[in-house]
Amino acid sequence: MSSVGVFICHCGTNIAGKVDVAKVSDDAINIPGVVYSSHQKYSCSEAGQKVIIDAIKENRIDKVVIGSCSPKMHENTFRKTIEQAGLNPYMLEIANLREHVSWVTADKDSATRKAFDLVKAAVGKVSFAKPLTPGQVTVEKRALVIGGGIAGIQAALDIANMGYEVVMVEKEPSIGGRMAQLDKTFPTLDCSACILSPRMVDVAQHPNIRLLTYSEVENVNGYVGNFNVTIRKKAKFVDESICTGCLECVTKCPLKKKIPNEFENGKAPRGAIYVPFAQAVPKVPVIDKEHCQWLLSPDPDTIEVAEGEKKPKRKCGVCAKKCELGAIDFDMQDELINEKFGAIVIATGFNLFDHKKYGEYGAGEIPDVITGLDFERMVNSSGPTEGKIVRPSNGEKPKKVAFIQCVGSRDEAKGIPYCSRICCMYTAKQAILVREKLPDAEVYVFYMDIRAGGKGYEEFVLRAQREYGANYVRGRVSRIYEQDGHLVLKAADTILGMPLEMEADMVILATGSIAREDSVALANTIGITTDAYGFISEVHPKLKPVEVPREGVFACGAALSPRDIPDTVATAGAVAAKVGVLFSNDILMSDPMVANVDPMVCVACGACVEVCPYSAITMEEFRGKKFAKVNEAMCQGCGTCSAACRPGAAQLRGQTDEQILKSIEAVLQW
């Protein structure tokens, strides 16, 4: 029989104002198993904890019930308290007398009765508590960074500089991400490539970082400190160890002007063998197997021909002939790499809204209506027009340029009610760039509200307006159509309260940020969740902004929600710090409140294996007897196995059948 001590907290007047704490405490002494009961003003205070410790020692209490605030508040505090008194920290049960009683009950008598019932339940439950000891797991001090944009680059460099090994996986042939596509950055007008390229090179040259481009994460198993990850390294058909990046192959590919280059947002061509852009890291071309004529033509070995006839040859193969080093390898296959990591960083970034969904703006069919990203490439000196701002329809300089903000942002009708946070600023930047390069051109910006929250942001927008003479018109454009070689915009000026019709030569749509199309699939692979829009969900938006619900996995940058470069870099640094904290441990303590299967009771029906959402249970065999076994490090303590187990062999420690049944009985029968 256990000796339970009951301590009822007043919480000032928070509990004592509604619950007759003296009565609950006096009555508690009559609950079976209770040997001591008292009440005190603040149990969580240093003095209050001392009362508990002294009472435990003096009255030989071996199990403790504390009637106080929610266990989510102070369960850990009181576990440490009773540990100081020499008890196992899990010999504790909290009766939630504040959030569940005093704060939600009008009548004092009802509150007191309810409080006493909850104390009885806690005594019933704790009387079957058993001492628990946390397990220990080692930490593999290597980090996997998924995504090679500025978020992943920053996180990888910070973690690597702490002295830990990093593997960076990037889906595209080069790292750099969205930031590499930009021309200038707001509000400083720094050249994007100039500040990014050195960091890309740092990643490639860092002794602690291994870069896997053209690769994707295929499978994630394991748990914090011990993830097993399968990475698919897609065949590049170019041997990285031989290639020197001379790009002779690229210049000779007969398709070099035929395939839209994704990096240029499809506005400039690439070949079937290509590097996406001049500063690519690594500067090793890849062969796109969807287009390469050699790879698409049938293998002569598989073709049967009549005797005497010549077998048809593979088409093309020019790149292989031009490569003096013999780096082209058409037989290369995808490679599956299995690696162990202690932490995983998601830095997969974002996509831009597809303006084809805006029929009123021409649904992408009007050549002179382009997106902000198209403009970034156009105004960039290494882009499709080598930095010249021209109308795509005729190659002439525009005399009048209109910007439309909130295209695929703050538009509930298009399913995007949120603000993308970057468009007001990049529009102001692009307006400045137009006025800088074409001082004679007029610039109009149609906006809903200007959201310029950030260091130097409001001033930057004012500069666009005052110094560069961009005309800001508050109102939405309702329609754009072509007429006599111009564009006609129909809009409303909501400040003047008047309809407006305007001619322009070129329209730039500020398309908003959306989640990457494969973000949900990646979340499923890792076993985490996304929000309604497909962005990765954090544990807590304020207090755990870079943690995701799977321990040991972190996320940063625009994979979490739309954000600009400073916020992306800040969260990447935050993630690196979190990984550093994790890796500062040689051994992690695991929660002991996990499931356990008694092999002597188990009938090996396999029900628990089937229901376990974490795949933590496997079937084992010992001397001919089969039984289920729980991997305690993988178990998250949900107890589903316990509910599914018919003979009662699977039990969740701290939440066993007998504990819960006893607490029910205590409320209703005692």
Q: Is 438 in the site for other proteins (CB under 8 A)?
A: no
Which of positions 588-647 make contact with other proteins (CB under 8 A)?
Answer: 593, 611, 613, 637-640, 642-643
Please give the Cα distance from 188 to 184 (Å, whole number). 8
Q: Is 70 in the site for other proteins (CB under 8 A)?
A: yes
Closest distance to other proteins from the beta carbon of 544 (Å): 14
Please give the Cα distance from 454 to 598 (Å, whole number). 58
Contact segment (CB under 8 A) with other proteins among 65-73, 142-150, 346-354, 551-559 equals: 65-73
Please give the Cα distance from 13 to 40 (Å, whole number). 11
The residue within the footprint of other proteins, chosen from 96, 215, 409, 530 (CB under 8 A), is: 96
How many residues at the interface with other proteins, by CB under 8 A?
40
Both tokens assigned to 664 = 């029910």
Contact segment (CB under 8 A) with other proteins among 45-53, 201-209, 439-447, 650-658 equals: 650-658
Q: What does the per-residue mask of binding to other proteins show for 116-135, with x meaning CB under 8 A?
A: -xx--x--------------
Which of positions 317-376 make contact with other proteins (CB under 8 A)?
Answer: none
Query: Which is nearer to other proteins, 521 or 661 (by Cβ)?
Result: 661
Contact segment (CB under 8 A) with other proteins among 94-102, 164-172, 398-406, 472-480 equals: 94-102
Contact (Cβ atoms closer than 8 angstroms) between residue 513 and residue 534? no
Contact segment (CB under 8 A) with other proteins among 106-114, 136-144, 312-320, 412-420 equals: 106-114
Contact (Cβ atoms closer than 8 angstroms) between residue 647 and residue 600? no
Please give the Cα distance from 554 to 549 (Å, whole number). 9
Beta bridge partners of 211: 168
Give Cα separations from 49 to 85, 129, 420, 575 (angstroms). 10, 21, 49, 36
Contact (Cβ atoms closer than 8 angstroms) between residue 336 and residue 230? yes
Closest distance to other proteins from the beta carbon of 578 (Å): 21
Instruction: Tell which residue, 644, 599, 556, 659, has the closest CA to residue 122.
Output: 659
Q: Is 104 in the site for other proteins (CB under 8 A)?
A: yes
Q: Is 26 in the site for other proteins (CB under 8 A)?
A: no
Q: Is 283 in the site for other proteins (CB under 8 A)?
A: no
Query: Which is nearer to other proteins, 88 or 655 (by Cβ)?
Result: 655
Contact segment (CB under 8 A) with other proteins among 215-223, 231-239, 275-283, 657-665 equals: 657-665
Query: Which is nearer to other proteins, 229 or 594 (by Cβ)?
Result: 594
Please give the Cα distance from 424 to 433 (Å, whole number). 14
Query: Which is nearer to other proteins, 105 or 230 (by Cβ)?
Result: 105
Please give the Cα distance from 512 to 419 (Å, whole number). 8
Closest distance to other proteins from the beta carbon of 333 (Å): 42
- 610 SS3 class: helix
Residues 6+ apart with CB under 8 A from 58: none
Query: Which is nearer to other proteins, 390 or 638 (by Cβ)?
Result: 638
Q: Is 271 in the site for other proteins (CB under 8 A)?
A: no
SS3 letters across 57-107 = HHCCCCEEEEEECCHHHHHHHHHHHHHHCCCCCCCEEEEECHHHHHCCCCC
Both tokens assigned to 606 = 């396999």
Closest distance to other proteins from the beta carbon of 221 (Å): 21
Query: Which is nearer to other proteins, 512 or 654 (by Cβ)?
Result: 654
Q: Is 655 in the site for other proteins (CB under 8 A)?
A: yes
The residue within the footprint of other proteins, chosen from 2, 3, 84, 105 (CB under 8 A), is: 105
Query: Which is nearer to other proteins, 15 or 255 (by Cβ)?
Result: 15
Please give the Cα distance from 7 to 29 (Å, whole number). 11
Contact segment (CB under 8 A) with other proteins among 101-109, 160-168, 283-291, 299-307 equals: 101-109
Contact (Cβ atoms closer than 8 angstroms) between residue 566 and residue 455? yes
Q: What does the per-residue mask of binding to other proteins show for 548-587, with x meaning CB under 8 A?
A: ----------------------------------------
3-state helix, strand, coil in the chain (%, to 5): 30, 25, 45
* DSSP single-letter state for residue 547: B
Please give the Cα distance from 634 to 616 (Å, whole number). 5
626, exposed or middle or buried, with CB in 10 Å at 0-12, 13-18, 19+? middle
Catalog residues that contact other proteins under the rule CB under 8 A: 70-72, 96, 98-101, 103-107, 110-111, 113-114, 117-118, 121, 593, 611, 613, 637-640, 642-643, 652, 655, 657, 660-661, 663-665, 667-669
